[in-house]
């Protein structure tokens, strides 16, 4: 695929067009060129998967600030102080490995947690291996009046022991109590994960 055509696709993605719209538009132009008897090039034979690949690359360019994931994470964390409630670089402390962890919560997510989480249910969902560096991703959610889940924080960490969870749950609790000292959820909804249950207790 030529660089000019890649730039054209990235421009379309930047303007907000979805993959299928870009592909359908390309296919219409492709048929018109065939009917006109024009000579085909490699760019004419792209598939939706090719556009999806460029889309992933385009999105990654927006958040990947360095080839080294650790440096990229560190740079992002310190350039978004209002959105980060916890950050810990991976390190060794007296022979004990300290995991790399970042806790993300925007001001609007904090407000949602304060208003919807007080005397309400909070869901904590964890996934593993959904990213290039195989980190754990925790998503905390509350429920609005329509029982729709609303994300209120994300935590990305290289380890998920009970002590690790307590390490980032504690500053989140402190942050909430500064907003509302009497804040307390009615319950937590978690997977059947012993370390999550112990950390929440």
What is the reported pLDDT for 105? 92
Q: What is the pLDDT of residues 34-74, one digit of tens each?
A: 888 888 888 888 888 888 888 877 666 656 666 777 777 78
What tokens were used for 144?
């609005």
pLDDT at 132 over 70: no
What is the reported pLDDT for 5? 81
Domain ranges of the chain: 3-63, 69-200
> If you average pLDDT over every residue of the chain, what do you get?
81
What is the reported pLDDT for 159? 81
Residue, of 169 and 74, whose pLDDT is higher: 169
What tokens were used for 37?
């008897």
How wide is the angle at C-alpha 195 spanned by C-alphas 190 and 197, nearest 5°?
45
- Say if residue 128 is exposed, middle or buried (CB neighbours under 10 Å; 0-12, 13-18, 19+): exposed
Rounded Cα distance, 92 and 187, in Å = 35
Rounded Cα distance, 7 and 12, in Å = 9
Rounded Cα distance, 29 and 38, in Å = 11
pLDDT at 94 over 80: no
């Amino acid at each position: 695929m030529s660089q000019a055509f890649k730039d054209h696709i990235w421009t379309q993605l930047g303007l907000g067009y979805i993959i299928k719209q870009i592909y359908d538009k390309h296919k219409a132009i492709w048929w018109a060129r065939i009917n006109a008897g024009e000579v085909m090039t490699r760019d004419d034979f792209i598939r939706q998967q090719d556009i999806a690949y460029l889309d992933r690359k385009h999105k990654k360019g927006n958040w990947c600030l360095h080839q080294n994931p650790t440096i990229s994470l560190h740079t992002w964390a310190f350039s978004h102080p209002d959105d980060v409630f916890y950050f810990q670089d991976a390190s060794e402390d007296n022979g004990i490995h300290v995991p790399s962890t970042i806790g993300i919560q925007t001001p609007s997510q904090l407000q949602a947690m304060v208003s919807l989480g007080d005397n309400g249910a909070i869901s904590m969902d964890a996934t593993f291996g959904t990213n290039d560096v195989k980190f754990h991703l925790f998503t905390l959610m509350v429920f609005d009046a329509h029982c729709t889940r609303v994300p209120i924080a994300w935590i990305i960490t290289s380890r998920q022991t009970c002590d690790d969870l307590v390490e980032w749950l504690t500053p989140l609790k402190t942050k909430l109590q500064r907003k509302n000292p009497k804040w307390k959820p009615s319950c937590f909804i978690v997977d059947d994960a012993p370390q999550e249950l112990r950390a929440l207790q």
